Amino acid sequence: MKHFLHGRTQISELSLCPPAPPADALRVAPFDTASANPQIEVVKQGDKVTRLVVTCSCGERIEIECLYPTAG
């Protein structure tokens, strides 16, 4: 079985590449991990945990629903 590029003309030009970012865009802001802690909130219904709410130190919030099998 032949390779799918077999017999195709090859061009000796440079391949596509992403443009280089400007030098001033390469600055990295310091991140203090000691003061940046995520928060976890537990939501219960009776004795069962029904939801976990995780708030990242960056402010993003993720809600995780806890599903249990039905008794049967």
pLDDT in tens, 6-21: 777 777 776 666 666 6
> pTM to 2 decimals?
0.46
The span from the CA of 56 to the CA of 40, in Å, is: 9
pLDDT over 60 (residue 2): yes
Beta-strand pair 61-65/39-45? unpaired
Element (H, E) at 65: strand 61-65
| Cα atoms found within 13 Å of the Cα of residue 66, Cβ hemisphere only | 12
